[in-house]
Chains A and B, each alone.
Chain A
Amino acid sequence: MSDERPPHDLRDTMLAEASLAHGLTRTWRTPAGLLGALSTVDHKIIGRRYIATAFVFLALGGILGLLMRWQLARPEARVIGPDLYNQIFTVHGTNMMFLFAVPVMEAFAVYLVPLMVGTRNIAFPRLNAFSYWVYLAGGILLWVAFILDTGPDVGWFAYVPLSGPQYAAGKRADIWAQMITFTEISALAVAVEIVVTVLKQRAPGMSLNRVPLFVWSMLVTSFVIILAMPAVMVASTALILDRLVGTHFFNPAEGGDVLLWQHLFWFFGHPEVYIIFIPAVGMISSMLPTFCRRPIFGYLPLVLAVVGTGILAFGLWVHHMFTTGLPRMGESFFTASSMAIAVPNGIQIFCWLATIWYGRPVLKTPMLMILAFFFTFIPGGLTGVMVASVPLDTQVHDTYFVVAHFHYVLVGGAVFPLIGAVYYWYPKFVGRMMSERIGRWVAGLLLVGFNLTFFPMHILGLQGMTRRIYAYPEEMGWGGMNLFVSLSAVVLAAGFLLFFIDVFRAARHGPEAGENPWGAATLEWATASPPPPYNFARIPVVRSANPLWDSPDSLPVATGLRVDRRELLVTSVTEARPEAREASPSDSIWPLIAAICTCSMLLASIFTPWAVVWGMIPVAAALTAWFWPKGSPEEEA
């Protein structure tokens, strides 16, 4: 390769379009072959992997949901025994929260944020590769354990003392706690990358008031992750220590505290809901203008609402614990703060409604999914206000009313926008359009199937059906409605099945998309579909919040970046003024090796604490190799 090396310090200013594209491709592309695939640091390849993996987990978790509905369809059914049922509902919840919902949102950010802010790769791309491998290992850990009859069976929240050393025999709860560690590591890594990418790598001119709303919401989400995840990290580590080493964090007899677990878990667990929800509102805010053919109404209030939601998210965790016997004062405070979260969410809903009102809505599939979001999330939000009040919560705590509520907010609030987002950005990911005709069916089946499945659960809950039961006697009279729910679940599943079919079908047979099939305004549509390895041949310069609408024919660009090595532009935090040319790391196999070492250490530590000591050695070796200095300057101002 060295013989055809271009002259040192080749800048893009010196080159014509064709040779520029050629040079950039040679610098940025991922080499073919297995080694190339395993060592790539391209955010688009890793983002695609992340998204695909997360949707595999969605499908698997959905199958578990159907199994539960099969068992509950009739009273006293004997499809699944109590032990397997416990594992199934735990793995369903854990899988959906930790392996699907959070990673899929971060996956979209990994793919889209660098494109939306107009840069060539995510910040810390090797960390990005590392985070994917760790996430994958965590998912495999959970599912292999489940297949081996060692699936966690203590609920996705793993309350002590039930999950503690005395009551959770075997390794099942350890699998849960360690899988949490895997997903924490990967989520924290991605969060750090997003924050740095958004704050330091935006295209010149993209001052904070011109940042696309999806990027804003991912920035807020990333900060929420950074602040919330350590709580559950501490909690799950303490749980493992209690179980394996015999510490007494959660043992009241030796000065520990059982309720400490719930506080630590929900201090993470409630923001977790917003870690899932805030990206979804960002997706809506980014898709809505495209389909209303006008800029978003109330950019500033929307940004403030997202930031406000992110802050308030940390002040509500106790509403999960209203029945634990807390002081009245605490209950009142957290009731008030839980209801206060409706304010920023209400502001967002009104801004979106105003956008639709003043626009000319085009009812394509993503828009239909946004409408499905409105019809589903708003009832979910209303029941949220209901369970925020202590007297009502005490009545419906641990009943199907709560199951219905959180599926309304999570599926309605996050999965529906997400499906819309897949339809919206699929052309960018793959270069082909998904079917509009199938999309309408998907939207219809999902909306109808979902509401028929989960609305009756409100009533079942009010009738007293408790969560997490594997069977119920016929005399309770819940049989008819449960059968209806189970049959509706099949409709919902059919919607998802159709969606997956469309995804696979469109990858081969969908019509070519072109750069900007929807006529959207943000920068990710300013490059080819799928984007080349270097994203943009020249870094765009942004002069408004809707760059592709305000300068439709030609986008101004910045020049002066080197072509013969991976380089991107670092800009200032608020104004996005260019500050430096920064080298972007090249492909490396070490993130994979470091991930394997880390995962082996964590896995072995389920069996003996000494694994942490001995496992540190390969981890340290792999990290040393990863960060071995290269001797070339990292940035040039």
Chain B
Amino acid sequence: MTAKARAATLILLALTLAACKREERATRLDPPVAEALDKVAVLPVGIGGRPPEVYPALGSPYRSNAYQLSQGKRLYEWFNCRGCHADGGGNTGPALLDGWWRYGPDAVSIFVSIRDGRPNGMPAFRDRLTTEQIWQLTGYIQSMGATAISVAAPSRSDRMQSRPAENRAPATFPAPR
């Protein structure tokens, strides 16, 4: 095999793997994996920490996989995150698009916020969502406030539009009305 052919094969392989990861749909997580995903190591203050070891082993899918992100978006709708955080711009709850995070921007902090709740109104979703679903929601919430558009980002919803879809523009703070 010539060097050129080898390089082409490698590039093709890389593309293949990238596409596979982005498009893969793991519809059912093995129960032991799901359980291990719950084992986050949080700092004593409840902010920041280390994700469980199985998280990188899975390939950190919750921010880079199209299906997981769209599941997160669906859960955002179904569990009425909109009720307090609106479309990400914030209402009675804080905004999720402005790059300012009360309890830290990292995945573990957001995961813990959803799972255990936070003072002054954020309820705990531990008993309402599975660990996998909390991670999906975490990934979506991280991506909706990101400054770069991900290829895996979801498109617009079939509802009234309040801001450009996730795959259309870097998240912006909605103009005050």
Contact = CB atoms under 8 A, between A and B. Distances in A.
Interface of A: 81-83, 147-150, 161, 164-167, 169-172, 242-246, 248, 250-254, 607
Contacts of B67: 169-170
Nearest to A148: B19
Nearest to B160: A253
Contacts of B160: 253-254
Contacts of B50: none
Given A169-B67, A169-B69, A169-B70, A161 B165 contact: no
Contact of A83 (B19, B27, B66, B151): B27
Contacts of B70: 167, 169-170
A486 B148 CA distance: 49
A246 B154 contact: no
A208 B154 CA distance: 55
A248 B156 CA distance: 9
Given A148-B16, A170-B22, A242 B155 contact: yes
A310 B115 CA distance: 61
B177 interface: no
Interface of B: 15-16, 19-20, 22-25, 27, 66-67, 69-71, 151-152, 154-161, 164-165, 167-168
B168 A170 contact: no
A137 to B, nearest CB: 17
B158 A161 contact: yes
B27 A244 contact: no
B161 A248 contact: yes
Contacts of B161: 246, 248, 254
B151 A252 contact: no
Contacts of A243: 155
Nearest to A153: B25
A106 to B, nearest CB: 31
B159 A253 contact: yes
A105 B20 CA distance: 35
Interface core residue of A149, A246, A248, A252 (most chain B CB under 10 Å): A246
B158 A245 contact: no
A607 B155 contact: no
A254 B165 CA distance: 14
A328 B94 CA distance: 51
A253 B167 CA distance: 19
Contacts of A253: 158-160
Given A149-B23, A172-B23, A246-B168, A166 B66 contact: no
A170 B21 CA distance: 11
A10 B70 CA distance: 69
Contacts of A170: 22-23, 66-67, 70, 152
A150 B158 contact: no
A607 B156 contact: no
Contact of B168 (A167, A169, A245): A245
B56 to A, nearest CB: 21
Q: Which 6 interchain pairs have the tightest Cβ spacing?
A: A165-B155, A170-B66, A169-B70, A148-B19, A169-B66, A246-B165
A607 B168 contact: no
A251 B158 contact: yes
A83 B25 contact: yes
Given A169-B66, A242-B156, A254-B161, 20 more contacts: A83-B25, A147-B16, A148-B19, A148-B23, A149-B19, A149-B23, A149-B24, A150-B23, A165-B156, A165-B157, A169-B70, A169-B152, A170-B22, A170-B66, A244-B167, A246-B156, A246-B167, A248-B156, A250-B158, A607-B151
Nearest to B156: A246
Given A148-B23, A149-B23, A165 B66 contact: no
Contacts of A248: 156, 161
A477 B69 CA distance: 38
21 contacts: A83-B27, A147-B16, A148-B15, A148-B23, A149-B24, A150-B23, A161-B158, A165-B154, A165-B157, A166-B158, A169-B70, A169-B71, A170-B23, A171-B151, A172-B23, A245-B168, A246-B155, A246-B165, A246-B167, A246-B168, A251-B159
Nearest to A175: B23
Contact of A82 (B27, B71, B156, B167): B27
